[in-house]
Amino acid sequence: MNSPVMMDQAQRQLFLLFRVQGELYGTPLTGVREIVSYVKPREVPNTKKFYLGIISLRGDVVGVMDMRFWFQDMKPATASTVARALIVFESSSGVMAVAADAIESICQLDNKDIEYAKSIPSSFSAGGMIGLGRFKQGLATLLDVRALLNHVDVAAERKERWAC
């Protein structure tokens, strides 16, 4: 309800399903600008670990995030899989991309198939967490990635920087 991408309850929403570390995630298609093949980003100093670096996408500088480290508070920060695609979003802090291991599909989902996040405990703030969606591929975590990217801070903390 409090999600910025919240649509009409009666409407069906389009979600982009992708996998990271074998887990199925979904994000509303409206926030997605495009999907490109994975390009190794150029690292940027004094940034956090999940900020992989920047790439040049048709002249635009795009920052690349790694969800495997971004969600480290929730899941173990391991990188056992290889990212194959970058999902590009236009956030308020600029054009950002998120690395995904695989793009599953674009699916429409009825509201009845969505278990909203109010019943799911989460540390995500600002409505980043939508809920769980039931797809034919299985249950997927529905995240409003663009909303999450609006509030992300990629600059490294001082002690962390000195520790490096």
Partner 1 sequence: MLRGENQMFWRALSLRSKLMLLTLAGLFTAVFISFWQLRQSYRARQSALKSDFRIHAASAAGGIAANFAERYTDVQAFALNSVFQSGNREQMTNVLNSLVAGYQVYDTIMFVDATGAFVASNNRSFDGRALDTKVMDGRSFADTPWFQRAFRGESSDDKLRGFSGSTVEDLQVDPISTALHGATLQGMSFSKAVIASDGRVAGVVTARASLRFVESEMRSSFERLRQSGLQTAQLLLMNKDGLLSAEITSDLLGEKGEVKRNQDRILRWNVATQQGQFAAQEAVAGRSGSVVEFDRVGRVERLWGYAPLREQRFPEGFNWSIVVSVSADEVLGDLLLQRNISYGSLAFVLFAFGLLGYGTARSISRELLECSVRMKEDSIRLVEAGDELNEALRKVADHDPEEAGRVAVVEEQGKGMLDEIEKRTAALAECSVVLQRMHGDLGVSLERSGVVIESVRSVNAEILIMDEISSRLDELQGKLAAINEIVFKAQLVSFNASIEANRAGQFGKGFASIAAEIQLLSESTEQVAREINEISTKTQRKMIETTGSLRARMGGMERNAADWAGSLESVRSGFPAIVRCVQETAESLQGQDQVVGRICETVERVEVALAKASQIRSEVNRHVQDVREQSYRLEDLVQDLGHVVKGVRTRSRLKKNANQDGLVASRVTQATSERARADAVDRLAQKMRPRLVVESDGHEPEVTDFAVKQESNRRAG
Positions that interact with partner 1 (CB under 8 A): 14, 16, 29-30, 32-37, 84-85, 103, 105-106
Cβ atoms 5, 142 nearer than 8 A: no
| Cα torsion angle, 52, 107, 33, 145, sign | negative
CA distance 28 to 152: 18
Complex with partner 1: residue 56 or 122, whichever CB lies closer: 56
Complex with partner 1: residue 86 or 132, whichever CB lies closer: 86
We find the least distance from the C-beta atom of residue 101 to partner 1, in angstroms, to be 12
Complex with partner 1: residue 30 or 122, whichever CB lies closer: 30
We find the least distance from the C-beta atom of residue 45 to partner 1, in angstroms, to be 31
Complex with partner 1: residue 51 or 55, whichever CB lies closer: 55
Max Cα–Cα distance, the chain, nearest Å: 52
CA separation (Å) from 114 to 39, 87, 96, 120, 143?
Answer: 33, 22, 26, 12, 12
Cβ atoms 83, 68 nearer than 8 A: no
We find the least distance from the C-beta atom of residue 107 to partner 1, in angstroms, to be 10
We find the least distance from the C-beta atom of residue 17 to partner 1, in angstroms, to be 10
Q: Which two tokens mark 152? A: 């992300």
